[in-house]
Amino acid sequence: MANISDIIEKFLLDALKQDETMDISRNELASFFNCAPSQINYVLSTRFTTERGFEVISQRGGSGYVRLIKLNFAEDDYLQELITHRLKEPIDYNTTKRIIANLLDNEIINEREQSIILSSISPKALACPISIEDKLRSQILKNILITLISREHL
């Protein structure tokens, strides 16, 4: 059975299929799902990240709301953004998994390619000192994305 985080995520994703921007009340959503508002915060901060193609804007206060925006990157623009900005810095495995999940969600890669990429940048595959693991992962992923851009233009 799905946990409450999965259920909240699915609910929000389904709502975003109809409109790519939505304003929600954290308290109303928590009341709807009979959970604490912190559970809503957890889902928003872990599952609706930039790496997954979302922007979350939070307005606090009496009439506070959370604006959830599904980012629409043109495929090459999104890949170029990842290459030139996000992957300049070392990247941990969990963040990488979110990026790869977004590539799959947006049909930039297929499930087989997802599995190959994830296995190639996993901590087990990168049997190296921890001090350089995230930098090595970033370089490998950057080269994979460059290949994806090149593949699209063949």
How do residues 80-97 score in pLDDT, each as one tens digit?
A: 777 777 788 898 999 899
Least confident among 9-23, 42-56, 58-72, 107-121: 58-72
What distances in angstroms separate CA 119 from CA 33, 100, 137, one per listed residue?
Answer: 36, 11, 11
pLDDT at 114: 94
Could you give all domains of the chain from N- to C-terminal order, each with its CATH number?
4-70 (3.30.56.130), 75-152 (1.10.1200)
Per-residue model confidence as pLDDT tens digits over 37-53:
889 889 998 888 776 77
Question: Is residue 121 exposed (0-12), middle (13-18) or buried (19+ Cβ within 10 Å)?
Answer: buried
**Residues in Cβ contact with 68 at an 8 Å cutoff, skipping those fewer than 6 apart:** 12, 16, 21, 22, 23, 24, 44, 48, 54, 55, 56
Segment (H or E) for 54:
strand 54-59
Report d(CA 2, CA 31) in Å as an integer. Answer: 19
